Amino acid sequence: MAEINTTILDSFIYGQVTVGNIVIFILLLVVTFILARAVSGVLIRTLAGKTEAKTIDLTVKSIRTVIYVVGIIVACTQLKIDLSGLLVAGGVVGVAVGFASQNTLSNLVAGILLMFERPVNIGDSIVVNGTEGYVEGIGLLSTRVRTYSGLYVRIPNDSLFTSEITNMVSNVARRFDYNISIRYTDDAKKAIKATKRVIEEHPYALKNPSPSVYVDNLGAHGIELKVRIWSPSGFWWDARTELLWTIFKALRQEDIDVPFDQLTVWFGEEDAAKLQSSLEEGTDMTVEEILGKSEKAPENANSGRV
């Protein structure tokens, strides 16, 4: 029986092609089809929710086509088809196309790597190359970012992949700081206590990591407090904009105020009396002469008068 089967598989159909070659050819096509379906399914599950649907569809179709082409070429070798000329021509065309579309290919490869590495996702708030905004779409060749002012910026994937990316929301929590100054006449402990009470009452201020409020510096115009608060990344902006004004109002209620820059000019009682008397008499003298502090000038020198 085995001899009969072997004889059938070795039977020539045409030229040097045997029944066994036809069977292997069909099996290779079936394996290629199954492999393409399996890889497509894995890609769809992996990329779902990480990029746009049309980008996923294009990626899956491109990879599936590559698998089909490679599988058919390998299968055709069983039919004794000489593909060397076709491969040489394809190689020449591939090299020419590669040189002509070098930037496009680099962006394509970078786009595929970004999908798997996932440094950014759609909806993330990022900073890259001086551009700040929300990720609106991740394509095979470029990524679209909507800035905070509503402008759309297209960033080539090659540039995005090789740049330093700051993702504002990749971590679950984010910290923000305040520098608050109070007067030297105010009680710093009382100010710290009032500030902590406001932070504890805010719904978006995290207790772990815990906030910190402390005297950071004794400045030229007042006591400088450092306030550090952690908040969920999704509510970071709301917490940051609300808490500063709430803290300021709480300090005001405790009769604690912000110091303002002041400049005091002091002449002294005697000098002030001389200036006041000169103004009342309407004398034509300089300030230096009134205060008796000017040096004797040359006879022909011109002096300013008041």
pLDDT single digits (tens) 186-221:
999 999 999 999 999 999 999 999 999 999 999 888
User: Where along the chain do its domains lie?
Assistant: 2-81, 120-167, 173-253, 267-306
Read off the pLDDT of each residue in 224-248 and give the average, rounded to a whole number: 93
What is the residue whose two structure tokens read 């909806």? 123
Element (H, E) at 211: none
φ, ψ (nearest 5 deg) of residue 13: -100, -50
pLDDT of 95 > 60? The answer is no
Give the whole-angstrom CA distance, residue 265 versus residue 250: 34
Give the whole-angstrom CA distance, residue 14 versus residue 79: 10
φ, ψ (nearest 5 deg) of residue 262: -130, 150
CATH 3.40.50.1580 is right for the domain spanning 173-253: no
Buried b / exposed e over 281-299, threshold 16 CB at 10 Å, is eeeeeeeebbbeeeeeeee
Torsion, Cα 286 287 290 294, to 10 degrees, reads: -80
Does this model's pTM top 0.75? Answer: no
User: What architecture is the 120-167 domain classified under in CATH?
Assistant: Roll (2.30)
Contact between 198 and 243 under an 8 Å Cβ cutoff? The reply is: yes
